Amino acid sequence: MSDLVNQSSHYYRSLSSAKSLLGNGDYLTARQILASLNDNFAEEIDALIRAGEYDEAKHRLQRYLNPKYPSVAACQAHVGSRQHYDVAKQRELL
Q: What's CA 74's distance to the chain center, in Å?
A: 17
56-93 pLDDT, tens per residue? 999 999 999 988 888 878 877 777 765 555 555 555 44
| pLDDT: which is higher, 13 or 73 | 13
pLDDT at 94: 40
Question: Is it the case that residue 17 has pLDDT exceeding 90?
Answer: yes
What is the reported pTM? 0.71
**Domain range list for the chain:** 2-67
Q: Could you write out the DSSP letters of every residue in 17-67?
A: HHHHHHHTT-HHHHHHHHHHH-SHHHHHHHHHHHTT-HHHHHHHHHHHHS-
Smallest CA-to-CA distance from 61 within 88, 89, 30, 28 is with 30
Q: Residue 19 has what pLDDT?
A: 96
3-class DSSP state of 89: helix
| Per-residue pLDDT at 89 | 54
